[in-house]
Amino acid sequence: MKCDVAIVGAGPSGLILAHLLRQAGLEPVVLERRSKDYVLSRIRAGVLEKTTTNLLERLNLADRMHAEGLVHEGFHLADGEKLIRIDLAELTGSSVMVYGQSEVQRDLIDAIPARGVEVVWEADDVALHDVDSDAPRITYSKNGTSHTLEARFIAGCDGFHGPCRKAIPETVGVTHERVYPFGWLGILADVPPCDDELIYANHANGFALASMRSATRSRYYIQAPVDTNLDEWPDERIWDELAVRLGPEAGGRITRGASIEKSIAPLRSFVFEPMRHGSLFLAGDSAHIVPPTGAKGLNLAASDVTYLSDALIAWFKQGDQNALDGYSSRALARIWKSERFSWYLTSLMHQFPEHSSFEREMQRAELDYIANSRAARESIAENYIGLPL
């Protein structure tokens, strides 16, 4: 089988790229290791920047997002006693959209038949070959039968653990990584959120986040050791701890209910560069991971594939090599700024085992500065809504 662009991974980055290329008349093929049902079942956060919502509108895939998503014109930082509102609308003239990544994924998958996007689900043993040539290929198995997919380019949208980044020689790539000494213990429940906007809380017990998927479904997180045993955290213990960490104002508004999902997620900052080797291009989590504090993961994936699709389309339509050559540096410039913001918020809002009273007081002083400085709030707001493409 032959195609213009072979895309490994049917997460948001892979499917957005496939839709963009198909919209331009190109022939992409997507290979996904998991089943469609499995991909749809993955629960992820969903604070979408304007660049991401604009991209979904460009693909004519934004109707359900506009009908069911929640437009947020601000969010809060909490210091254990008071809420500090970051007024996005007043400070930047913009807003963000709360719409779950799983919903974005569903919209992308539902549009596959009508758009003529070819996806091979449950493609096992994916291996890349000759990526440093002009004729790369991918071998994989499906239902026990071996297949070969030939393409002019390969897009690695297969996440942190996928095969694409591993196909780049160690002598070519450089890895930058910060592994945080804690994770997020999350609880999802069908209860109304405690506030109309997200709350990021810094407390002596650790970080907490109050967020939502809709007006009737809430998602909460608390900082916890990565090796936390979920059996030791029944629902009531989590609700009690949230009420403490979010502070009396927000904590007093919590509606409790039975969890429908609980999990513990590690936090890391990770960047691999360059994002191109020969005919192979990386996008999304295959090239970078951000801690979720800054709400940048899906949005960075969307900006990556915006740059990549524009470059690929220019090459196929006009023979323009410059955009492909500049893809990695262009994407990385935005990635590193988003990494900085996510690192900053993570450092500001979490308790670190190595912190002394000095670092704790520095966090307090920074939060007090933010509360009383428009310039500080404007900087946070500018980064939160997303830097320009």
Cα dist from 185 to 62, 215, 300, 331, whole Å? 31, 22, 23, 31
Q: Where residue 309 falls among pLDDT bands split at 50, 70, 90?
A: very high
Percentage helix, strand, coil for the chain under 3-state DSSP, each rounded to 5: 40, 30, 30
Distance CA 47, CA 24 (A): 27
**Which pLDDT value is given to residue 255?**
98
| Active-site residue, 200 included | yes
| Active-site residue, 161 included | no
Convert 230-250 to b/e letters by CB count within 10 Å (16 or more is b). eeebeeeebbebbbbbbbeeb
Amino acid symbol at 347: S
pLDDT of 270-300, one tens digit each?
Answer: 999 999 999 999 999 999 999 999 999 999 9
Q: Render 313-363 in DSSP notation, one character per residue.
A: HHHHHH---HHHHHHHHHHHHHHHHHHHHHHHHHHHHS--TT--HHHHHHH
pLDDT of 120-176, one tens digit each?
Answer: 999 999 999 999 999 999 999 999 999 999 999 999 999 999 999 999 999 999 999
Mean local confidence (pLDDT), 355-366:
96
**Which pLDDT value is given to residue 362?**
97
Neighbours of 118 (CB within 10 A): 15
Q: Is 340 helix (H, G, I), strand (E, B) or coil?
A: helix
User: Which tokens hold the place of 128?
Assistant: 């890349």
Out of 136, 203, 292, 307, pick the active-site residue: 292
Vertex 152, ends 151 and 156: CA angle to 5°? 75
**Which pLDDT value is given to residue 299?**
96
Out of 72, 76, 277, 350, pick the active-site residue: 72
Question: Residue 143: CB partners within 8 Å, gap ≥ 6?
Answer: 122
Mean pLDDT score of the chain:
96
Out of 99, 140, 180, 200, pick the active-site residue: 200
| Active-site residue, 203 included | no
Mean local confidence (pLDDT), 231-256:
96
Vertex 119, ends 114 and 123: CA angle to 5°? 160
Angle between helix axes 357-372 and 322-349 (nearest 10 degrees) is 110
pLDDT of 34-76, one tens digit each?
Answer: 999 999 987 677 899 999 999 999 999 999 999 999 999 999 9
Which helix (H) or strand (E) covers residue 363, if one does? helix 357-372
**Which pLDDT value is given to residue 46?**
84
**Which pLDDT value is given to residue 82?**
87
| Active-site residue, 72 included | yes
**Which pLDDT value is given to residue 124?**
97
Q: Where residue 4 falls among pLDDT bands split at 50, 70, 90?
A: very high
User: Which tokens hold the place of 327?
Assistant: 């893809």
Mean local confidence (pLDDT), 241-253:
95
The domain defined by 2-47+99-177+268-346 carries CATH number 3.50.50.60:
yes
| Active-site residue, 66 included | no
Give the closest residue to 337 by CA, choosing from 266, 265, 268, 269.
269
